[in-house]
Structure 1
Amino acid sequence: MELYFMGTNAGVPSLERNVTSLALRLFDERRSFWLFDCGEGTQHQILRSPLKLSKLEKIFITHLHGDHLFGLPGLISSRAYQGGNTPLTLYGPPGLKQYITTSLNISESRIDYRLDIVEHEGGKLFEDETFCIESELLDHRIASYGYRVIEKDLPGKLDSVILASHGIKPGPLYGKLKRGESVEAPDGVTITPDEVLGRPKQGRIVTILGDTRPCQAVISLSEGADAMVHESTFLDELAQTAYDYHHSTAKQAAEAAKAAGAKQLYLTHFSSRYKSEEQLHRLLVEAKQTFANAELAREHVIYPVVRADGEE
């Protein structure tokens, strides 16, 4: 599980940064990736990345401001030309379906794969045997949502030495033991999972937040998160400006990460006024004064999501 930022600017693109888009790479877990927001130019950023649209499984839109979704129609229509023929599901606030269907219909775009659009107002959006996705309404000028990605615990490691001593080799019996089933070994001995299965690996939690002022939903979505992505549009000297425009400062992002007990904070959604490395560094310094494990999100950099035990 890895984070890959393709846009970290707020409002409009700049020569230094694109507008908001973030991939959650799940190649080991699902052989796919999920996209969070899709600002203008996102498909160009994907062409410069190790990502392939054919592997895109889900898109989550935080809110319907242009810098977070103007890239969607082009990306959706281009996906089939890049080998994308598997179903694609979009999640986002009410109005997303009208925006997508209108754009595709007027442009007479042809989609050769199943496209599902799920409009929501928070709650549990998706769950299978490996992941659960939850969402809550944040505090922004329009309805803006944060997403909590919960990886379910993984089975512990099997003791291959004990299994080999009973004549059990990697294969179907390994799978049964990992699913919690007892098996009969070739030597006639019944092996229970408790005898050969180590402690489960704790699943990771990734929180990706849309534009927001500080609010309780930020804390609840980020509780205990292994990785937390929070907008940091302004320095705290512009806290009143941030409030007036329904945004947050780097200091406020750090305060939220500390209150939530998050393990790692990634700052993103920087105002275009902060162009130089020196100006961006001020945002990081401000955040680190409150929360040491803060980092500026950089475009086209892979950020592994580390487990509590230090494994990726």
Structure 2
Amino acid sequence: HPVTAHYPRSGQHFFTRLRYSTAYRETVGITEAPVDADGTLAVTGSYTLQARRLSHPVESYGYRLVEPDGRRMLPDRLAALGVRGPDVGRIQRAGVLGDVRLEDVSEVRRGQRFAFIMDTRLCPGVHALAEDCDLLVIESTFLDEDEQLAVEHGHLTAGQAAAVARDAGVRHLVLTHFSQRYSDPDEFERQARAAGFEGELTVAHDLLRVPVPKRR
């Protein structure tokens, strides 16, 4: 299936270099969709993809994927109103079955929210992307004692990233993009906890797979 690639428009030459950096036969249809402003990039039946500009010496954007809300069927309400068997599917599709409305036998199931924030110092875009996320993957290049370096180079510290997640109500925080100057990755977790983040926390490593938390 076609693959859409989003990247900063100002970095078009970098994307082109990467795309054609080796001698290979391109068998996948790639749609180039450069980004040059905050806003919604795509809306489908399965998700909405949004972008927000970040703060970095090289133009950078973060991305937020939002699943539409659905509905969770309530077995006790279905039984009480006599909706059973194939009728459950019918009311889900039609929204009503006789005198029974879908709202009478279900509740809202909030869609999942995921954000990816890389190459940035603190800025409004960071907070907007992280807001109420189930899973947040965010850069944590420096430890807190090197905050001035983080500001100068356009990056975050472990404590800053964790504070963003704490204030945004993030459920699962994934820290990544670490400076090689540090030899103990556990220190990123210690500083993130010291910043008050109490949700699930992962310090990423190469090839790690992190599942999205189960719906609440």
Tell me the equivalent position of 2:185: 280
Root mean square deviation of aligned Cα: 2.5
Q: State the Cα deviation string for residues 144-164 of structure 1 (Å, max 9, x = none).
A: 111111111122226475333
Report if aligned partners of 2:6, 2:33 keep a CA contact under 8 Å in 1. yes
Identity of aligned residues (%): 29
Report if aligned partners of 2:166, 2:198 keep a CA contact under 8 Å in 1. no
Deviation of residue 268 (structure 1)? 0.4
Counterpart secondary structure, 1:125: strand
CA distance in 1, matches of 2:8, 2:101: 47
Deviation of residue 141 (structure 1)? 0.7
Counterparts in 2 of 1:80-159, with a 5 A limit? 86-95=1-10, 97-101=12-16, 109-121=24-36, 122-157=38-73, 159=75
Which AA in structure 1 matches 2:198? Answer: A
Unpaired segments ≥5 residues, structure 1: 1-85, 184-188
Rate the CA distance shift 1:151–1:136 in 2: closer, same or farther, 3 A: same
In the alignment of these two chains, the number of paired residues is 209
Deviation of residue 204 (structure 1)? 1.2
Counterpart secondary structure, 1:208: strand
TM-score of the pair, normalised by structure 1: 0.60
Matching residue within 170, 181, 206 for 2:95: 181
CA distance in 2, matches of 1:174, 1:286: 49
Which AA in structure 2 matches 1:146? Answer: G
Rate the CA distance shift 1:174–1:109 in 2: closer, same or farther, 3 A: farther
Deviation of residue 307 (structure 1)? 4.4
Report if aligned partners of 1:97, 1:117 keep a CA contact under 8 Å in 2. no
Q: Does 1:230 align with 2:160?
A: no
CA distance in 1, matches of 2:40, 2:211: 25
Deviation of residue 140 (structure 1)? 0.5
Which AA in structure 2 matches 1:261? Answer: G
Rate the CA distance shift 1:95–1:175 in 2: closer, same or farther, 3 A: farther
Matching residue within 102, 105, 110 for 1:193: 102
CA distance in 1, matches of 2:18, 2:7: 16
Which AA in structure 2 matches 1:114? Answer: G
CA distance in 2, matches of 1:306, 1:210: 21
Per mean C-alpha deviation after superposition, the further-off stretch among 293-302 and 241-250 is 293-302
Report if aligned partners of 1:202, 1:307 keep a CA contact under 8 Å in 2. no
Tell me the equivalent position of 2:173: 265
